[in-house]
Amino acid sequence: MSEPVTAQDLIDLGERVLQDSTHLFDDHDNRLEAEQLLAFSLDIDHDDLDADLEPPRRTRERYLSLIARRAGGEPFPFLTGSIEFYGLDLKVKPGAFVPRPSSELTVARAVKRLKGRRKPLVVDVCAGAAPIALAIADEVPGAEVWALDIDEEALRQGRGNARRLGIRNMHTRATDMYEGLPADLEGKIDVITGHVPYVPQGELEDMPTEVRDHEPIYTLTDESEDGLTLMRRAIVEGAPLLRPGGWMLMEMSDDLAKKVRKLYRKADLEDHGVASDDDGLSIVVEGRKPKESRGPTKAAR
Ligand SMILES: C[S@@+](CC[C@H](N)C(=O)[O-])C[C@H]1O[C@@H](n2cnc3c(N)ncnc32)[C@H](O)[C@@H]1O
């Protein structure tokens, strides 16, 4: 086969190589990724790509080496150094969980639940590099958003993006779950969001290289059999932090919804069902603290 020279040929080849890779999730849009990597190599916008363009040899080599790295399992945002998340250009580095486009649903649900609140308080637990917290803080400038994570390095990345983007209403705390949240916020939180690790221990080895070899293991799993130890803590320890009428919004894969809704009910949260988006990759389970606190049950008195 002759060497690919035009943008069209290079994209076709890149798409095929990514499709054949066994190191990636199979739900990526490989053609789009190939186009984006070619645009990145050419230092032009994706929209300006022209199928008949003939990139110089050095650019072609650069592009093919990026395709090879991607096919080997490197997360896409590590190749370009950034990801667009809820309209924000976030810089991304190895060492933390890579923000997923599917988490935009969590942001959208939080923004909906915050509508009409003038100075709402938001907690994003297991915030990582804080894409969810940053996007909420940006969308709802009157909100005070707390991003909590056990990993200071991930939060440092979040703070870097906040500075660059001029987002000033996000605070970060390196802490085990909610422990580092100021005590005077207890019972006042309007929305808790959480994209908590939830992969069961036994399913880790089924994850592709792009996840297993490039994201710290504690970002994926709490290493319990059902994967829900941290989820339980997020719900049980989070419920008392909510104000009456406040919302708990946990992101996960849809197979976990039933179990998590049960955990909500056990924590005395009203079950408001499951939100999903078109691609159905992730869902958000929604619960609400009753407006009138029911007080202790007979058995607990
Ligand atoms: C699935 S990642 C999600 C990160 C971020 N919310 C996002 O969507 O990009 C889970 C995060 O939980 C954090 N984590 C793990 N154990 C924790 C704990 N005990 N307390 C707080 N955060 C924890 C990890 O450091 C990781 O950043």
Q: What is the DSSP string of 131-179?
A: HHHHHHHHH-TT-EEEEEES-HHHHHHHHHHHHHHT--SEEEEE-STTT
Distance in Å, CA 40 to ligand 1 centroid: 30
Span 245-273, mean pLDDT?
A: 97
In the chain, the percentage of residues whose pLDDT exceeds 70 is 97
Show the tokens assigned to 156: 């440092």
Q: Are 269 and 287 in contact (CB under 8 A)?
A: yes
Query: What is the pLDDT at residue 297?
Result: 46
Distance 125 CA to ligand 1 centre (A): 7
- pLDDT at position 301: 37
Alpha helices for 91-130 (secondary structure H): 104-114
In the block, residue with structure tokens 């919302």: 247
Task: Measure 29 CA to ligand 1 centroid, in angstroms.
Answer: 26
**C-alpha 180 to ligand 1 mean position (Å):** 14
CA-nearest residue, atom 9 of ligand 1:
99
The residue written with tokens 């029911």 in the block is 294
Ligand 1 geometric centre to CA of 170 (Å): 17
What is the average pLDDT across 239-251?
98
**Residue 161 vs residue 296, higher pLDDT:** 161
DSSP H or E stretch at residue 31: helix 30-42
In degrees and rounded to multiples of 5, residue 123 shows phi and psi of -120, 130
Give the nearest ligand 1 atom to 177 CA: 20
- More confidently predicted of 300 and 125: 125
How high is the pLDDT of residue 1? 60
Question: 3-state DSSP call for residue 14?
Answer: helix
Which band of pLDDT confidence, cut at 50, 70 and 90, is reported for residue 8?
Answer: very high
Sheet strands (E) in the chain: 82-85, 88-91, 121-125, 144-149, 170-174, 189-194, 242-252, 270-276, 283-288
What was the pLDDT predicted at 294?
Answer: 56
Best CA proximity match to 187, nearest among 196, 176, 178: 178
What mean pLDDT is predicted for residues 135-145? 98
| Average pLDDT for 189-204 | 96
22-31, 240-249, 286-295: lowest mean pLDDT where?
Answer: 286-295
Task: Looking at the CA of residue 127, tell me the nearest atom of ligand 1.
Answer: 6
Tell me if residue 134 falls in helix, strand or coil: helix
Cβ < 6 Å from ligand 1: which residues? Answer: 97, 99, 103, 126-128, 131-132, 149-151, 154, 176-177, 195, 197, 218-219, 230
CA of 172 to the centre of ligand 1 (A): 13
Q: Is 38:49 a contact under the CB 8 Å cutoff?
A: yes
Alpha carbon nearest to ligand 1 atom 10, residue: 219
Confidence (pLDDT) at 90:
98
Q: At what angle do helices 57-71 and 7-20 cross, to 10 degrees?
A: 20
pLDDT of 54 over the 60 cut: yes
Indicate the top mutation candidate among 86, 103, 109, 126 to test ligand 1's pocket, ranked by most ligand atoms within 8 A of CB: 126
> What's the confidence (pLDDT) of residue 171?
98
CB burial string 105-123: b at 16+ within 10 A, e below: bbbbbbbebbeebeebbbb
Is the pLDDT assigned to residue 298 strictly greater than 70?
Answer: no
Out of 26-30, 72-76, 151-155, 276-280, least confident range: 276-280
Tokens for 127? Answer: 């915030």
Q: Report the nearest atom of ligand 1 relative to the CA of 176.
A: 20
Handedness of CA 178, 180, 184, 189 (dihedral sign): negative
Query: Following CA atoms 257, 288, 188, 128 in sequence, which dihedral angle do they give, to the nearest 10 degrees?
Result: 20
pLDDT band, residue 238 (cuts 50/70/90): very high
How many angstroms separate the alpha carbon of residue 196 from the centre of ligand 1?
Answer: 6
Which atom belonging to ligand 1 lies closest to the Cα atom of 151?
25
- Residue 280 pLDDT: 75
State the pLDDT at residue 50: 95
d(CA 287, CA 150): 24
Record the pTM: 0.93
Which residue from 103, 136, 145, 149 has its CB within 8 A of the most atoms of ligand 1, so it is best to mutate?
A: 149
> 45 falls in which pLDDT band (50, 70, 90)?
very high
Contact (Cβ atoms closer than 8 angstroms) between residue 296 and residue 116: no
- Residue 300's pLDDT is what? 39
Count of other CB atoms within 10 angstroms of residue 295: 7
